[in-house]
Amino acid sequence: MKKYRFGLLAATGLLALLAFSLPSHKTKVYMIGDSTMCLYGARQFPITGWGMPFADYFDQTVTIDDRAKGGRSTRTFLEENRWRPIADSLQPGDYVIIQFGHNDEAKEPQFAARYTPVPDYKTNLIKFITESRQKNAIPILVTPVSRRNFDKDGNAKETHVEYTQAVFDVGKQYQVPVIDLDAKSRALYQQLGPDRSKLLFMELDSAEHPNYPVGRHDNTHFNEYGARLMAEIVLNEIKAQHLALADKIVHKQTAAH
Amino acid sequence: MSIALIAAISAAFTWQPGKITVYLAGDSTMSNKAVSARPETGWGMPFNAFFDTTVRVDNKARNGRSTKSFIAEGIWKSITDSLHTGDYVLIQFGHNDEVPTKTTYTPKADYQANLERMIKETRDKGANPVLITPVARRSFDSSGNEKDTHEEYAAIVRQVASAQQVPLIDLDKESMALIQKFGPDDSKLLFNYIKPGENPNYPNGQSDNTHFSELGARKMAEIVLKDIKTLNLELASRIVVSHLGIK
């Protein structure tokens, strides 16, 4: 009896120890990028970054922390000290999903403050990768989601040629998984065609939505529907490439028939 | 004297319309959805984004409910118990009332009586009822014409609205027109159509002609908002004023 009681005590103590030493840290998935990925408030609805619906599809062991910010290139994201706090708080096993390009590639004079030439873009991506890895966190590269741009024959055009290639170059050189959202999103626009694909974007008639009293015609930013379709592409690529993060995507049993 | 004048003037300048609540009473086409059901979206969800800070939208709509079960389960009472003068109750039922095989089935006479009861109990609290015909299902005939899927129950809503002088939003008719405009193929984008393997919540895919995608839910909410303006309800004065995009 005494022996049994000791055993029980020891077991309880062991359990308590175990409970305290178990990692309390949920896996954090940081998302860094631009306006196509970022969070938006209710006063901007229905504009939606794909990071918003993306967060709906993970189990309880994951926290999605979308730090993407509209208008940012890799360079301005770094200059504004948006990366350092993330790098500092990274824990082993966390993820960093990286999608830039829209603002890096903007060569027009009015965007000079954000423009980042390809070599610098690569250097900045490499910085995100190496500093994630220094913390034993896992970087994932995403090519910049395509803009909606059809030629007169109804073919969806490539809108990020050089910068998407740069993502692939860096991914290959540093053996980082690359999700080709650029190609996959463009394939979806092509499949939908020039008219239907507008339904994914911020295409609003005037007076349709009080948040946009003069309407909006936008081939870059998604509405809530397009953002979800983009999130689905990324989720399905995470599965297709058998990334460890795939285990944390909600898994529903297929209904029995 | 001068203090009273100053007080009166400052009151005039700081006067704001009182805060109100807009209750949504209805079924799954209107309700808030669990994260695990997404992307299925009720039109009450995007409806929430239309108003200024004087309005709180309380979406009490619930999946699977008819007027009968909404009342029997006490959901309706939870609304009337908290109603204040100036509040609104937007009422949209029918999908679960009109199906004889469902336990929620509500014969036409009962449906009418339940709507009349909801109107009366809303008005008893000094609040404003608004009747909404049941939003259309996607149902095309072989010639590509969207069919009226709520003919009898929508007619009852129209009759009750007219008899009781309640503002009416004919969402059945207007959503049918929208679905027709999109056509048999494109209209699928308004509904919860999911390919197998596309979305983690629907591994087998989904072909739902009743429940909306995010896009369809917003388009329905936009119809309701447009009618709130056309009807010139006091609620229309509380629609958010935005300057986005105005140079």
Write the pLDDT tens digit of every residue in A54-63: 999 999 999 9
Superfamily of domain B18-238 in the CATH hierarchy:
SGNH hydrolase (3.40.50.1110)
**CB distance A216–B245 less than 8 Å?**
yes
The mean per-residue pLDDT over the stretch B129-139 comes to 98
- Mean pLDDT, residues A131-145: 98
Under CATH, what is the fold of the domain A25-248? Rossmann fold (3.40.50)
Is residue B201 scored above 70 in pLDDT? yes
Helix (H, G, I), strand (E, B) or coil at A111: helix
The mean pLDDT of A46-66, rounded to a whole number, is 97
Instruction: To the nearest 10°, report the CA torsion of A6, A12, A18, A24.
Output: -160
CA distances from A135 to A64, A95, A96, A112, A132 (A): 18, 10, 11, 33, 5
Pairwise CB contact (< 8 Å): A57 & B201: yes
Q: What is the pLDDT of residues B93-124, one digit of tens each?
A: 999 999 999 999 999 999 999 999 999 999 99
Rounded distance between C-alpha atoms, residue A192 and residue A195, angstroms: 8
What are the boundaries of each domain within chain A? 25-248
Mean pLDDT taken over chain A? 92
Mean pLDDT along residues A92-106: 97
Nearest CA in chain B to A55: B35
Which positions in chain B touch A46 (Cβ < 8 Å)?
A: 46, 49, 218
- Residue A112 to chain B, least CA–CA distance (Å): 22
How far off is chain A from B158, nearest CA to CA, in Å?
Answer: 25
Can you tell me the mean pLDDT for B151-179? 98
- The kind and range of the H/E element at A34 are none
Contacts of A232 in chain B (CB under 8 A): 198-199
A228 and B198: CB-CB below 8 Å? no
Quick check: B49 and A208 CB within 8 A? no
Distance from the Cα of residue A127 to its chain's centroid: 17
Q: What is the ipTM of this complex?
A: 0.91
- The answer to whether A56 contacts chain B (CB < 8 Å) is yes
What average pLDDT does range A87-103 have in this prediction? Answer: 98
Q: Give one word for A136, left, alpha or beta, with left for phi > 0 and alpha for psi -120 to 50.
A: left
Q: Which amino acid is at B73?
A: E
Residue B137: C-alpha distances to residues A105, A217, A234, B151 (Å): 45, 29, 31, 11
* Residues above pLDDT 90, as percent of chain A: 87
Model pLDDT for residues A141-164, shown as the tens digit of each residue: 999 999 999 999 999 999 999 999
Predicted confidence (pLDDT) at residue A201 exceeds the cutoff of 50:
yes
Phi, psi of A28 (to 5 degrees): -105, 135
Pick from B38, B218, B242: CB nearest A210: B242
**Which tokens is A68 given?**
């993407």
Which of B200, B244, B245 lies closest to A251 in CB terms? B200
Segment B55-62 shows an average pLDDT of 98
How far separated are the first and last CA of chain B, in Å rounded? 45
Mean pLDDT of A132-142: 98
| Statement: residue B213 has pLDDT above 70 | yes
**What is the DSSP secondary-structure string of chain B?**
-HHHHHHHHHHHHH--PPPEEEEEEE-TTTS---GGGTT-B-THHHHGGGB-TTEEEEE---TT--HHHHHHTTHHHHHHHH--TT-EEEEE--TTTS-TTSTT---HHHHHHHHHHHHHHHHHTT-EEEEEPPPPP--B-TTSPBP-SSHHHHHHHHHHHHHHT--EE-HHHHHHHHHHHHHHHHGGGGEEEE-TTT-TT-TT-EEEEEEE-HHHHHHHHHHHHHHHHHTT-GGGGGBPP--TT--
Region A128-140: what's the mean pLDDT?
98
pLDDT at residue A257 greater than cutoff 50: no
What average pLDDT does this structure show over A230-245?
A: 98
pLDDT of residue B244: 84
Q: Rounded to 5 degrees, what are φ and ψ at B37?
A: -100, -5
Residue-wise pLDDT tens digits, B136-162? 999 999 999 999 999 999 999 999 999
* Confidence label for A252 from pLDDT (cuts 50, 70 and 90): confident
Residue A89 has pLDDT above 70, yes or no: yes
State both tokens at A205. 């008639």
Q: Which residues of A touch B38 (CB under 8 A)?
A: 53, 56, 228
Cis peptide before B39 (omega within 30 of 0): yes
The helix/strand/coil state of A96 is: strand
Give the residue among B75, B72, B105 at the shortest CA–CA distance from B91: B75
A209 in contact with B at a CB cutoff of 8 Å?
A: yes
Interchain pair A224, B218: CB under 8 A? yes
Quote the percentage of chain A above a pLDDT of 70.
89
Assess B63–A contact: CB distance below 8 Å, yes or no.
no
Q: Which of A109-118, A144-153, B7-16, B208-217 has the lowest mean pLDDT?
A: B7-16
* Res A234: pLDDT: 98
Lowest-confidence pick of A10-24, A57-71, B71-85, B107-121 = A10-24
Q: What is the mean pLDDT of chain B?
A: 94
Q: Given phi > 0 = left and psi -120 to 50 = alpha, else beta, which region is B208? A: beta
Angle at A61 between CA A58 and CA A67, to 5 degrees: 65
- Which residue of A211, A247, A254 is the best one to mutate when testing the B interface, meaning the one whose CB has the most B CBs within 10 A? A211
Instruction: Please indicate if any CB of chain A lies within 8 Å of the CB of B53.
Output: no
pLDDT at residue number A16: 58
Residue B132: pLDDT over 70: yes
Residues in chain A: 257
A45, A199, A210: residue with CB nearest B239: A210
Token representation of residue B219: 């388009």
pLDDT of residue A20: 54
Residues 6+ apart with CB under 8 A from A119: none
Cis peptide before B129 (omega within 30 of 0): no
Rounded distance, CA A229 to CA A200, Å? 8
Q: Does the pLDDT of residue B179 top 60, yes or no?
A: yes
Would you state the pLDDT for residue B2? 62
Q: Give the catalytic positions of B in this structure.
A: 28, 198, 211
Under a CB-based contact definition with an 8 Å cutoff, are residues A192 and A200 in contact? yes
Q: Cβ contact (<8 Å) for B222 and A209? A: yes
Give the per-residue pLDDT at B245.
77
pTM of the model: 0.91
pLDDT, position A253: 77
Closest by Cα among A87, A95, A108, A116 to A26 = A95
Task: State the average pLDDT over residues A186-209.
Answer: 96
